[in-house]
Structure 1
Amino acid sequence: MGNQVDRLSHLSYAEVPTVDPNGLDTDDGPRIGVSYIFSSDDDELEDGCAADGTEKDPNEEEKHYDPRDEVECAVYNREECVYEKSAKCANLEVYSPENLLNKCKAGDLVEFVASGQYPHWAVCVGDFQVVHLHRAEVKNSFLTDASQGRRCRVVNDLYKFKALSPDMVVQNAMEQVGLKDRELSWRNSESFAAWCRFGRREFKMGGEIRIGKQPYRLKIYLSDKHAHLLEFQSLEDVIMEKRRNDHLGRTAVLQELGTHFRASPETVHRSIIS
C-alpha cells in the first residue's frame, strides 16, 4: 500500500457491506470483511484515560467494574484453543490492588479492568512491583500505582501456551524496561506481558507472516448455545479485536452485532477479517 497508516483503523460491523440482508454467511457466498491496517493500540484510550482521551486522576476513587459486562470469548489457531476467557474455564474474580498483593508472585500476569477502558496487563516482578507497557514505554511501577484505581486479577491461565520459568519471565520483563516508541515490538500492554511469560514471537508486531488463509478464529460467546466467529491472519490482530470488545463491553458488542446483522444477536454468524 502506498500510504501506510500507523494508527488503528477499524471498520465497525455497521459500516461493512454484505449481500445477504440478514448478514448470514454460507460456504460459497460472500463474507463480511473488517480490517486493521498497520494498527497499534490507542495509547490515549488505554491506561487511566477516559474514552475521549482526557486524563484521569490516578488518586480518584475506585473505578466502576461490572462483571456482567465481560465479553467472554475464545481464540483458536486452526483447531487448537490458545486463549479462553469464560466463567466456566477461568477464574474471573477481581480484587482491589491491595488485596491482590498477597495473591500474586513474581512471574505472574496481572490484568487491570474497569468499565469503558481497555484492560491493562502487567508482569509481576516481585517486591510489590510490576513491569508494564504504558503510554508507549516499558515501565517498572508499584502494582498499586499501575492499577490507577482499577480492579485486578491474576490471568496466568487465559493463554494456553506453556509458560517460561518465573525467573525467565521476570528477566524478559526487566530487560525491556526503558524501551519506548519505535524501539517497541508490541502493540499493547497485553501483547507485551504475554510475550514476557510465554516468549512466543506471535505476540510481537510482525511476528507472523500474513499470507494464505486466516489461521486464527475469535469465538465470541453470545449465550450458552450461540457464538459469533471472526477470522484473522495473526494473533496480534485477534488481540486488537478482543481488546476493542473489552473496551466496548458485552452489551455494546451484542448491540453492534445485532444492528449489523438486522437480527437477534442470538443467531450464529461467521465473518472474515481481511
Structure 2
Amino acid sequence: MGNQVEKLTHLNYNELPTADPNGFDPEDDAPRIGVSYIFSADDDEQEENMDETENEDVKHYDCRNELECAVYYRDEVIYERNSRFGEVGTLSRENLANKCKAGDLVEFVAIGQFPHWAVCVGELQVVHLHRNEIKCDFLLDASQGKRGRIVNELYKFRALSSDAVVQNAMEQVGLKERDVCWKNSECFAAWCRFGKREFKVGGEIRIGKQPYKMKLQLSEKKSHVLDFQSLEDLIVEKRKNDQMGREAVIQELENHLNCAEEPGDDYNCN
C-alpha cells in the first residue's frame, strides 16, 4: 500500500486517465477518473519569508500566461476564468488593500507558485489557511510581497452576506493540523464565501460517474476535458495548472495526450 500511495502522489498528465476532448462520454469500461489521488497541501509550498519588497517574479507576473478554464457540475457552469478576467490584471498589495471590502475573496499570485487565497474581514485584515493553520493577518503580511486581485466572481455560486462570510472566516481562526478540513487556501476561502460543503475535505461521496468536468482552453479550436468525482480534487488539479502556467500545461498536454481539434461547435454544457 505504501508504494501505491507514493506513486499516486507523483502522477502527471501522461499517467492521467481523462475524458474525450469533445465532451462525449466514453464507453462504460473506458477510464474516466480525472484526479482522486492523495495530495499534500499545496499551500505548504508558499515561501515562509518573502522579502518585503516585490521580487522579480512578482513584478513581472503576466496574467496572459494563465490557462483559461471552465468547471461544470453536470449541466451547470460553476467556475470560469476566461480572457476577460486576465485582462483585469493584478494590483500591488497596497492598492489591493485599498480596494477590498469585508467579505471579499482575494488571490495573491506569483510566477511558479500556487495562488494563495484569503478572505477580507475588514480593517485591512484577512483570514487565510497557511501552513495547515487558519490565521488572521494583515493583508500586507498575508500577501508575502505578491501582487493580488479580488476574485469574488470566479465561482458562480450565490454568495452569503458579507457579515456571514466574515463570521465563517473568523470562527475558524486558530484551527490547526487535524482540525483543518480544507485541502488548500482556495477551498477554505471559497467555503467561507459560499458555505458549500463541497469545498471541505470529504464533503462529497466519490461513487459512480464523475459529475465534475474541467475544460482547459488550449487555443481557439483546441480544448481538453478532465472528469472528477469531487470538487476538492478538481481544485487541486486546477491549482497545479495555475502553478505551472499556461505554456507549461499546454506543452505537457501536447507531449503526452492526443488533444484532437474540436469540431465547429465548442463543447457546451448548457
* Shared fold per TM-score greater than 0.5: yes
**1: CA distance, partners of 2:30 / 2:165:** 44
- Report how many aligned residue pairs link the two structures: 254
> Match for residue 39 of structure 1?
39
SS at match of 2:79: strand
For the pair 1:110 / 2:69, whether they are aligned, the reply is: no
> Match for residue 27 of structure 1?
26
Q: Give, in angstroms, the shift of residue 39 of structure 1.
A: 2.6
Q: Which has the bigger relative contact order, CA under 8 A and spacing at least 6?
A: 2
**2: CA distance, partners of 1:35 / 1:220:** 15
Bigger fraction of residues in helix = 2
Residue 98 of structure 2 aligns with an amino acid whose one-letter code is N
Q: 2:231 aligns with which of 220, 228, 235?
A: 235
Verify the 8 A CA contact 1:97 1:151 in the aligned structure 2.
yes
Report matched runs for 1:2-81 at 5 Å.
Answer: 5=5, 9-16=9-16, 27-28=26-27, 30-31=30-31, 35-45=35-45, 47-48=46-47, 55-62=48-55, 63=58, 64-81=60-77
Verify the 8 A CA contact 1:7 1:39 in the aligned structure 2.
no
SS at match of 1:224: coil
Q: Give, in angstroms, the shift of residue 175 of structure 1.
A: 0.5
Shift >3 Å, 4+ stretches: 1-8, 15-18, 25-36, 88-92, 265-269
Moved more, 166-175 or 35-44: 35-44
Q: Give, in angstroms, the shift of residue 76 of structure 1.
A: 0.2
SS at match of 1:231: strand
Q: Give, in angstroms, the shift of residue 268 of structure 1.
A: 4.8
Residue 211 of structure 2 aligns with an amino acid whose one-letter code is P
Change (3 A) 1:17 1:130: closer
Change (3 A) 1:196 1:228: same
Change (3 A) 1:106 1:91: farther
Residue 190 of structure 2 aligns with an amino acid whose one-letter code is A
> Match for residue 117 of structure 2?
121
Runs of 5+ in structure 1 lacking a partner? 19-24, 49-54, 270-274
Report matched runs for 1:193-212 at 5 Å.
Answer: 193-212=189-208
**2: CA distance, partners of 1:242 / 1:191:** 12
For the pair 1:257 / 2:253, whether they are aligned, the reply is: yes
Change (3 A) 1:32 1:149: same
SS at match of 1:101: helix
1:107-126 C-alpha deviation (Å, 9 max, x unpaired)? 00000011100000000000
Q: Give, in angstroms, the shift of residue 235 of structure 1.
A: 0.3
Residue 246 of structure 2 aligns with an amino acid whose one-letter code is R
Q: Give, in angstroms, the shift of residue 100 of structure 1.
A: 1.0
Verify the 8 A CA contact 1:13 1:34 in the aligned structure 2.
no
Verify the 8 A CA contact 1:194 1:203 in the aligned structure 2.
yes
Change (3 A) 1:190 1:77: same
Q: Give, in angstroms, the shift of residue 266 of structure 1.
A: 6.8
Q: Give, in angstroms, the shift of residue 182 of structure 1.
A: 0.2
> Match for residue 170 of structure 1?
166
> Match for residue 21 of structure 1?
none
Change (3 A) 1:26 1:138: closer
**2: CA distance, partners of 1:8 / 1:198:** 31
**2: CA distance, partners of 1:219 / 1:182:** 33
Q: Give, in angstroms, the shift of residue 9 of structure 1.
A: 1.4
CA RMSD across the alignment: 2.7
**2: CA distance, partners of 1:155 / 1:44:** 21
TM-score with structure 2 setting the length: 0.85
